[in-house]
Structure 1
């Protein structure tokens, strides 16, 4: 199984940091080599020019002339009989003046003057860091996209297989539940439970199919409050079993253009997540109010709230901190809300608990 997105980011980030460090060291070495080459070229050119000057002017090859040239050029100069000078090095150069004399130039060993205080050096490093940062960002983004595409391709195969294997027996269960005639209230409640749970299973199958192959929503005029209350009724048994009280404080109607099935799926995911976040019971309050760009829904629970990592990456595909979780629920909610022209935001209540804010556009009055 491939690494999760945040682990992949960490791995790629560490690799990129190592690349930046290694690249900066190589750049520094290259700049120092260039500095040394330029210094050697200048040293040789200056020595050749000075020797040519002495030769053309036929100046005496004396110690005094050597001292005068040393003060002028800033390097040690010496005249020796031809053929007696030591071998050339990076800091010492011997030039034949005539058949009898050599002229020896010796400079102080070159010390690198490279510093980030030097504008040219600083600009070179800034350019390297910027280019490397851009390339790294593009590579990381492409790698993450490819990893997600591979996951989605695998998910598509699994979802298609599950849909085929589950939908046929599920349709049979739903049909028989509808044909059953209850003999008493207990039978009626049991049949209703079968129908509700069958709808839950169908919703889960559709959720996986939507994740593998998302389609645009089929928009119709609907009452958002009615949609939310319908989901709350369907999960009432699950909430009661978990000791969670679901409180809905919404005006009615709230008219929007939406896909009732997709929005119910998104609301159900949010409510189920909240219930699972309160294993010892608690309260889920669904409230809302008009906003400038639509209607703002708030799903607030009394659980432990989101971690810092979940606040930053909670809606990413396959991100989960829940044991046994798949990390698809909030991602699907986010994609559904976005497809309806809305936004999704995760935050924590200062008094405790998680808050999810959903903003959806309203129908014009």
Structure 2
């Protein structure tokens, strides 16, 4: 079979360049071009059956060629029906206009989510169709990180000014409220309690802004993460009881010390456990696990709350994004920032209606901390 040479140029711009077989010396050269391409190349017939696929295509889909040949092009994607329809629309348009370029986010057969740019050219050789696929998942992640970084930078610039402007009148309000306390009648005590509670909440938000605006110098030292978590659980046990929530710790014995800043980690643990408690107003169980995972310590916090829809998971940690009615999103944003400063990582697994799992990974090698 004579195979054409296709080139793929960047996201959103797919350029297919066909060289006529007469201009090239042999079928062997076409085969070499096909197999050595960095992009995934798939040849398929009008029944959508895969006739040939190169090594890059095997790598992208995580399946060997012998498992892919004869398989339907559509069945490569383990996803919801509207995504399959999106691929079908792409193919139909390619058949009509001669070439079609698209981008798509798809859940693969192994459950991973990947970003693809792909181009389809119909009837390219011997009546077969060619689809060129490039995996741009890492590029998409980098773009998302840059977007979050830009937003974080903007928040940092605004935070100091906002905190200053709010804190001055806040100080006056709290002072005068305290002066009024002795003269408040018994029937108005509830109003006083609500006012002081809301003022305390505003003060807490201001403090979170100040952390973003003026991050403190972090002094790392070797610490027992289990001990830090035990202190956090003791601190939040009363709130857990009020919500009818059971905190269930499972700590692996004889864990190595972690090079970290204990107060910063405690702040992260408090944020995550408080969030877990608050998403279970009817009660439930929070499982807290700490174990060694290769050259890392992994801390897992698993609640039995309502969960988070998949399309919202990647927004966690962004400023002002929250799933709570009265939340600001700043607590989780600060938590992500702290773990990043520890050269660690926060991963979230959740399913709507089935709870949420936060996994914190911290490196054991102190030399990894900058």
TM-score (normalizing by structure 1): 0.48
| Higher share of residues assigned helix | 1
TM-score by length of 2: 0.47
Of the two, which has the highest radius of gyration?
1
Q: Which structure's residues are more often strand, by fraction? A: 2
